[in-house]
């Protein structure tokens, strides 16, 4: 481990712990590559696991072709989902637990069996999915004013904050996630409109990428793991006092409130 990677990991970790934003790290700490960024993320994941936090799965980011082109990459990224930042239908999500939160409508998959194959086929993945749920990811970053580069977001757990799951699980059979429309509203006003096809052509494509990637890294997904697909539409900034509503075709409506 180099000094700059250790320092970046510590700055991000302490910023997250104290909810104190930091300056972008890519230029300031001379972190130039995705390998550097992934090393930073890995250090902090191992730290939190050793500290007793429970990982429940992974979130996928950068699933939009437009965003990938903007950042000069040709594949998504991923981050760990933590049990202590999980919320549900009609919950109050405390704003003070985040720094500069934004929300995205997504699809969540719950696996019913282990998947350890870097060449996993879609038919195998589909058969392994036990439940599909509507979800909202609460995206957050420790970097001031969202001035993030690709290295910044990957190092910072793919800008992972928290997530909200609906209470209407469905079987994958009968769902066409590619054509599933999504409307994300704040206080009853539509703020983001999307569709499953905006997520790598189909949210299942994003899940397949993740399963293959994690298997190749020696961290295969296991039965019970949760996968957040990536955004179906644009992110929306939120703050205390707002009610968030996600309507995703094929699922019941998901609501939650941003408390103080």
> For 203-216, what is the mean pLDDT?
97
Residue 109 CB neighbour total at 10 angstroms: 29
Q: What is the pLDDT of residue 170?
A: 97
Beta strands per DSSP E along 70-229: 77-82, 86-88, 92-94, 102-111, 129-139, 160-165, 181-186, 189-195, 226-228
Q: What is the pLDDT of residue 1?
A: 67
Looking at the predicted structure, is the pLDDT value of residue 149 above 70?
Answer: yes
Looking at the predicted structure, is the pLDDT value of residue 98 above 90?
Answer: yes
- For residue 70, name the pLDDT band (cuts at 50, 70, 90): low
Q: Kindly state the tokens that stand for 90.
A: 């009609």
Classified as helix, coil or strand, 250 is coil
Q: What is the pLDDT of residue 73?
A: 73
Q: pLDDT per residue over 113-123, tens digit each?
A: 999 999 999 99
Looking at the predicted structure, is the pLDDT value of residue 66 above 90?
Answer: no
* Integer Cα distance of 173 and 237 in angstroms: 33
Classified as helix, coil or strand, 26 is coil
pTM listed for this prediction? 0.95
Q: Kindly state the tokens that stand for 209.
A: 């990428």
Q: Kindly state the tokens that stand for 247.
A: 């309507």
Domain range 55-259, CATH class: alpha beta
Q: Which of 15, 9, 23 is nearest to 161 (CA)?
A: 15
Report which of residues 67 and 64 the model is more confident about. 64
Domain edges within the chain: 55-259
Q: What is the pLDDT of residue 103?
A: 96
* Integer Cα distance of 143 and 99 in angstroms: 9
Q: pLDDT per residue over 28-50, tens digit each?
A: 999 989 899 999 999 999 999 99
> For 147-172, what is the mean pLDDT?
95
**Beta-strand pair 236-237/181-186:** unpaired
* Span of 48-52, 78-82, 202-206, 233-237 with lowest mean pLDDT: 233-237
pLDDT mean across residues, the chain: 95
């Amino acid at each position: 481990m180099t000094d700059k990677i250790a320092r970046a990991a510590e700055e991000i970790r302490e910023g997250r712990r104290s909810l104190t934003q930091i300056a972008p790290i890519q230029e300031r700490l001379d972190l130039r590559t995705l390998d550097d960024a992934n090393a930073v993320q890995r250090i902090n994941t191992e730290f939190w696991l050793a500290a007793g936090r429970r990982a429940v799965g992974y979130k996928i980011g950068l699933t939009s072709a437009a965003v990938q082109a903007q950042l000069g990459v040709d594949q998504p990224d991923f981050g760990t989902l933590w049990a202590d930042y999980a919320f549900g239908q009609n919950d109050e999500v405390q704003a003070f637990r985040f720094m500069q939160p934004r929300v995205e409508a997504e699809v969540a998959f719950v696996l019913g069996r282990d998947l350890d194959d870097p060449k996993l086929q879609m038919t195998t993945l589909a058969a392994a999915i036990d439940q599909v749920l509507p979800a909202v990811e609460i995206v957050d970053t420790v970097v001031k004013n969202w001035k993030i580069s690709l290295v910044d977001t990957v190092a910072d757990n793919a800008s992972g904050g928290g997530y909200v799951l609906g209470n209407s699980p469905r079987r994958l059979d009968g769902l066409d996630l590619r054509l599933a429309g999504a409307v994300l509203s704040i206080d009853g006003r539509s703020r983001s409109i999307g569709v499953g096809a905006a997520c790598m052509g189909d949210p299942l494509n994003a899940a397949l990428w993740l399963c293959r990637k994690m298997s190749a890294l020696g961290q295969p997904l296991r039965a019970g793991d949760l996968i957040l697909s990536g955004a179906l539409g644009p992110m929306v900034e939120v703050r205390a006092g707002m009610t968030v509503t996600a309507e995703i075709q094929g699922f019941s409506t998901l609501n939650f409130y941003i408390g103080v």
